[in-house]
Amino acid sequence: AVPRAGVLTLDARNHGSSPHSPLMTYEAMSLDVQHLLTRLGITKCILLGHSMGGKTAMTLALQRPDLVERLISIDISPVSTAPVSEFSAYISAMKSVKIPDGLSRSAARQLADDQLRPVVQLPQLRQFLLTNLVEVEGHYLWRVNLEAISHHLADIMDFPVFHKPYPGPALFLGGSNSKDYPEIQRLFPKADIQYIEGAGHIVHQDKFEEFITAVLNFLPPP
C-alpha cells in the first residue's frame, strides 16, 4: 500500500514507460487510473493532471466522484481544445525525425531538435516533445505510441459528454486566460479558476515556483 501522504506519478497509456495500446480514449485512460487505485488500495485521492492528463483527471472525477477528494487541472478545460491539425503536424514532424545509430544522446537530441524546429517553433514545446526521445540498444526512437495517438487525436482533443457535476473542490490553473468558464462552472461548480502570469501551456515548466505555490495553497492542510 502507498503511504497516506504519498505522491504517485503515472504515465498514461502510450506514454512514458506505460504499455502501448491501440485504444486511447478518456474513458479508457480513466479506467487505467481506477484500476491502479483499486490495486493499491487507495479509496480516495487528490488528482492533478496537465493537458491530456487534466482531461483524464476530470473524466475520472465526473465518473467516480467518490474516488476523488480534490481535482487540479492544469491549463485544460472540459471542452474540445486546439485544432487537431496543429497536433497532427507535430506528430508528423516527430515521425519524420531521422537519427543515425551510434550518436551520443546530446547529439541525437540536437539533431532531433533541428529537424522539429520548422514545424514546432516554440522552443519550450520542442523541449517537452524531446523528453520522449529514448535510446534502445543504440537506436533512437520515440517512447510515445505515435500511431495510437495520431489515430485517436480527435478523441484526445475532444471531451466526453457529462451531465452530472463533480461536487468536490477543483482548481483550474491556467497559463493563459480561458473562455471556458460556463462549462467549467457547469461541471465543476466549486471550481477555483486561477492564472499564472507569463506562463504558457506547460505551466509547471514555465513558472515552477508559482505553480507549486498555487497547488500547495489549494491542498488541504496536512
Cell output for 123? 522552443
- Active-site residue identified among 35, 86, 139, 147: 147
- For 66, the 3-state DSSP assignment is helix
Residue 183 CB coordination number (10 Å): 15
Alpha-carbon distance of 33 to 23, in angstroms, equals 15
- Inter-residue contact 99 to 140 (CB < 8 Å): yes
Across-strand partners of 45? 68
Cell output for 59? 473524466
Concerning whether 150 is annotated as a catalytic residue, the answer is no
Through-space distance between the first and last CA atoms of the chain, rounded to whole angstroms? 19
Concerning whether 51 is annotated as a catalytic residue, the answer is yes
- Active-site residue identified among 51, 73, 77, 150: 51
* Single-letter amino acid code for the residue at 129: L
Alpha-carbon distance of 213 to 222, in angstroms, equals 15
Q: What is the dihedral of CA 69, 70, 73, 79, to 10 degrees?
A: 70
- Inter-residue contact 142 to 132 (CB < 8 Å): yes
- Active-site residue identified among 15, 50, 201, 204: 201
Concerning whether 147 is annotated as a catalytic residue, the answer is yes
Residue 195: HSE in the Cβ half-sphere, 13 Å Cα cutoff: 10
Catalytic annotation, residues: 51, 147, 201
